[in-house]
Amino acid sequence: MKKEFEEKEETNSSPQEVSEAIACQVVGDRSNSVQVGSARDTLRGSVTQLDIQNIIEEFGREVQKFEFARASKIIDDFRQKKLLFTSTPEDLAWGRLLNALSEISNCDCKYYQMAFLHNRAKTMFRKEVVGCRSQYEAIAKELEGGAEKLNSVSTVVSHLLDLCRTYVLARLEMILLYDKMTLLVTEASIDWSSMEHVAITLRENLRKCHHPDLAGISHLFQEEVEILRLLFTAQIHISNCRMFESLLELKQVRENFDFWIKELGSLNPANLSFFAKILGGEPVPRNRLIQWLIKFYDLLMAKFSLYFTNVLEAYCGDEDRESIHSIDNKFNFIDSFRNIQAQIKACRVGIIMDRSFDGSDFYGFGYLRKDNKFATDGYPIEPLKGVCSKYPFIFQCPNPTPGHQRNPSAEEEHGCIEKFIKKHLESRKVPEFRGGEDGEKPNERKELDTWRSETQSKYVYGDHLEGQLFIVAILNHPLKATELGEFTKFVYASQAKLRGSDLLAELRQTAR
């Protein structure tokens, strides 16, 4: 150790010797056909730009596996063992880059544990927790302050520092998006389109961060943004009852998830909910943000199975039908509708879509094929007519008759539904939902929207669900007080889950 120290002192004794050593190192590196830049890209002693780039590459590999502590340790160990930096602007810039990457890794670790909304004060049972939002802001400010000093350094390190700042600012934008989502818990109508637009903008900004040396952190973030965008898009398509588009988006989400979390040390693939059938086990991923995104995916799969089960059942056998219901992911939406229909003895309970504003022909939801694909006539020949096309059921129980068979009683019910929805829209009684934490409940009304047909002895109860969708129950008798209470409870619970209010409430509870 003493001999090594003396050798380092000898190296430090003469600037001329240092310059010669730098030149020799550059020549040696170039002799191996590795481009490391000019002599100014070679740091003091034996540390070169290539050494640092190799360390950053190793750092990125650990980040891609969500091993943030290990990634940060790689940087810190390198800085401790290679204390050979001089005070030149070039060396200071590389040092600033390594320091920023180490801090970013620590912040990303907190980010994926969802410790990003608020700081938590120290208590008797809990250590002080500093939210990563303030830490990201400090890193961005530090990188912005150091940008003015980079005029005299190489374009490589200057560009990398600029990309790091772009990455940190994008993380802050993502935190703002999650924060906005937590504020929508109490909204009766959630604007998923605006959040989809933010995700698209973030995706485009992150593409500017592409650089081989920063591939680790940028790839990790890009996959997260893309998965969230796909979830938003799938939610929009499902709420608009576009079966094929939502199916394609959900399929893409699954593929992206498989690619994103493949062979990662942060969670066990056997414990993911959509791997449970094959590999078994309960969903217990250690990464909270991934766990929440998976719950988002599971909710959309359950909504898809509810909204389109009537469409798919017409072309499914018993086993396929059970498979559709198994996608319910323990939300039990289909069983809940069946149970309430039996409990209140309703003629029909389901979800209808208001298409009164749409003048286009309507043949039904999803794929409607003819009995004989080579036939020129058959099912369907003509679009639905009258009120059945204006207010069609997307889901109903008991199961509907095939779409090509005329059902007079259903036509009468659609007439009642038309009057019910017109009354609802005129009164503007869409409730402001209060759901989630701290005992908050829906803004309770004395009763749901109702409509009574004197001539047909029909009673319609229901409420707005999401978009142009309504939950309705059609009965031949008025509901008793206890039955009305049970149906009201069912409607509010369905609104909270299907709108995504419960999901966003969980995000707020976990991330604060």
> What is the reported pLDDT for 426?
66
- Cβ-proximal residues to 211 (8 Å cutoff; 6+ apart), any chain: 159, 160, 163, 218
Low-confidence winner among 89-98, 234-243, 432-441 (lowest mean pLDDT): 432-441
Q: What is the pLDDT of residue 143?
A: 87
Place of tokens 């080579």: 374
Q: What pLDDT is recorded for position 286?
A: 60
Residues 435-451, mean pLDDT to the nearest whole number? 50
Looking at the structure, give the CATH architecture of the domain made up of residues 333-511: 2-Layer Sandwich (3.30)
Highest mean pLDDT among 127-141, 232-246, 283-297: 232-246
Amino acid at the residue 254: R
DSSP E strands, 104-256: none
Decide if pLDDT at 109 tops 80. yes
Q: What is the pLDDT of residues 10-43, one digit of tens each?
A: 444 443 443 334 333 333 333 333 333 333 344 4
Structure-model confidence comparison of residues 400 and 495, the more confident one: 495
pLDDT band at 269 (very low <50, low <70, confident <90, very high): very low
**CA 210 to CA 217: how far, in whole Å?**
10
Question: Alpha-carbon distance 60 to 373, whole Å?
Answer: 53
- Does 200 score more than 90 pLDDT? yes
pLDDT at 441: 45
Residue given tokens 């009574």 in the structure block: 452
pLDDT in tens, 298-335: 999 999 999 998 888 767 777 777 777 666 667 889 98
The residue with greater pLDDT, 4 or 292, is: 292
pLDDT of residue 106: 92
Q: How confident is the model at residue 411 (pLDDT cuts 50, 70, 90)?
A: low
Report the chain's mean pLDDT, rounded to a whole number.
Answer: 75
pLDDT value at residue 224: 92
**Spans of all domains in the chain:** 37-242, 267-331, 333-511
Residues 6+ apart with CB under 8 A from 82: 45, 47, 51
Rg (C-alpha) for the chain, rounded Å, is: 30
Compute the C-alpha angle 124/107/112, nearest 5°: 85
Strand partners, 120: 129
- Are residues 304 and 248 in contact, defined by beta-carbon separation less than 8 angstroms? no
Distance CA 349, CA 461 (A): 9
Q: Which residue has the higher pLDDT, 325 or 245?
A: 245
The interaxial angle of helices 215-239 and 192-206, nearest 10 deg, is 160
Nearest to 224 by CA among 64, 390, 5: 64
Given a cut of 90, whether residue 157 has pLDDT beyond it is no
More confident residue, 186 or 235: 235
Q: What confidence tier does 7 reach under pLDDT thresholds 50, 70, 90?
A: very low
Mean pLDDT is lowest, of 232-241, 328-337, 390-399, 432-441, for 432-441
How are beta strands 449-453 and 469-475 bridged, if at all?
Answer: unpaired
Residues above pLDDT 70, as percent of the chain: 67
At residue 266, φ and ψ (nearest 5 deg) are -80, -25
Chain position carrying tokens 């008025």: 478
**Which of 13-27, 96-110, 403-417, 494-508 is predicted with the least confidence, judged by mean pLDDT?**
13-27
Please tell me the pTM assigned to this model.
Answer: 0.79
Beta strand spans in 314-385 (E): 348-353
Mean of the pLDDT values across residues 364-380? 55
Which pLDDT belongs to residue 121? 53
pLDDT class of 4 with cuts at 50, 70, 90: very low
Q: What is the mean pLDDT of residues 247-265?
A: 80
Q: How confident is the model at residue 118 (pLDDT cuts 50, 70, 90)?
A: low
